[in-house]
Amino acid sequence: MKRRRPFTSPGSAVKCTAPSTPPTPRNVDITQFAKTKTNLNSETLSHSSNRPSKRSLSQILKIQNLPTDKWVPLDLGKSELSLPLTFPTGQTFRWKKTGTLQYTGVVKSHLVSLKHLENGDVAYQFHPVICSNSSSISNFTEKEDAKIALLDFLNVGIRLADLWESFAAFDQRFSELAPHLAGARVLRQDPLECLIQFLCSSNNNIQRITRMVDYISSLGHYLGSVEGFQFYQFPSLERLAMISEEELREAGFGYRAKYIVGTVKALQLKPGGGVEWLSSLRELDLKEVINELSTFPGVGPKVASCIALFSLDQHHAVPVDTHVWKVATRYFMPELAGVRMTPKLCSSVAEAFVTRYGKYAGWAQTLLFVSELPSQKAIIPSEVCYMKEKNLLDKKVIL
């Protein structure tokens, strides 16, 4: 069934003013973007086999760090992509900080680094990868395909400037925060990879989630190392099916081990083997997506919303956690201040965000979520963090 998104929540008791003109960010053809923007001949990329190969530890340790001296501008300014506001903020746990304003990760079978240049623009570099059968350099077409995959992963078809301008025009709080948090972008991850990562996130902290995700990733095909970090292609569903619950428990996954094993088994029974079925959720309504994902063990509404927003094109999915709850109760649902979070009330908060921000509510929520992180509060002027809050609450203004 094709998507039929209702972007306002019927019956909501929250009195919010929706945008008079819903945000309509300019769509960018990433294929043309990749073909015309940069000279791909400066990249070095090797072809990786789709099927993981077994490597001994001694073989891996002999591999030296890959060169990091060929950077190509991505034609994305800091206002369209801020790496520190995107990668270490809980969307993905597979990217590593490998330098000053530099992050490295894997997109499909491609090992890539991104960094901010002196002018703030983002540049990229594809690293040569370790192949199972050869070490040949990829041809021009493969380089182009790799860049298209990167642009798709970065969701460059949606322009932040258009969204932020629309939100800021009617929302005072958003207008105050946006200049300090420009470039907080929502990624478009591989659905299987995103699902497994967020199964690890249940009642967990970032450090431990990262260790679990690193363990799962290490079961895939080894690609290479950058600045001491080893990188792997995410394991296939078939490879994941070979992991036992006992193995995961021994690796420190605790009760999450049964969630992962159970979800992988359930996926294998889906039409097309699971991977295609997951991708097909991009064509459904958000409610249908949440319902489908919630059938997997360990997936509740919040985790399902994360997967929907970060991998399934459900741009108005709003994962509600304590940070998002605080934003809502401070600025447009003050009647919930001091009330205990319940699934029903979390659903009401999500609906209020959609009523307020429209079909890209999940993107607005992402910026507001980032603003609540301790690491970001340090860079936001105190008068924005505190004085505006006090003024709004004193005046009992509901934006």
Q: Alpha-carbon distance 83 to 113, whole Å?
A: 11
Q: Which residues are catalytic?
A: 302
Selection from 78, 83, 109 nearest residue 95 by Cα: 83
**pLDDT, averaged across the chain:** 80
Window from 26-40, 211-225, 241-255, 342-356 with minimum mean pLDDT: 26-40
pLDDT at 32: 56
Q: Which residues contact 185 (CB under 8 A, 6 or more apart)?
A: 80, 81, 82, 85, 86, 154, 155, 160, 366
Q: Sorting pLDDT into bands at 50, 70 and 90, what band is 322?
A: confident
Residue predicted with more confidence, 274 or 24: 274
Predicted confidence (pLDDT) per residue in 56-98, tens digit:
333 333 333 444 458 999 989 999 999 999 999 899 999 999 9
On the question of pLDDT at 149 being above 60, the answer is yes
| Complete domains list, the chain, with CATH | 66-158 (3.30.310.40), 189-313 (1.10.340.30), 315-398 (1.10.1670.10)
Largest CA distance in the chain: 68
Distances in Å between the Cα of 37 and the Cα atoms of 73, 81, 106, 199, 323 are: 9, 17, 22, 37, 38
Residue predicted with more confidence, 239 or 383: 239
pLDDT at 37: 45
Q: Sorting pLDDT into bands at 50, 70 and 90, what band is 302?
A: very high
CA 232 to chain CA mean position, Å: 18
Q: Sorting pLDDT into bands at 50, 70 and 90, what band is 397?
A: very low
pTM confidence score: 0.79
Predicted confidence (pLDDT) per residue in 310-321, tens digit:
999 999 999 998
Window from 67-81, 142-156, 254-268, 379-393 with minimum mean pLDDT: 379-393
Q: Sorting pLDDT into bands at 50, 70 and 90, what band is 104?
A: very high
On the question of pLDDT at 46 being above 70, the answer is no
Selection from 346, 373, 360, 356 nearest residue 173 by Cα: 356
Selection from 1, 7, 2 nearest residue 316 by Cα: 7
Q: Sorting pLDDT into bands at 50, 70 and 90, what band is 183?
A: very high
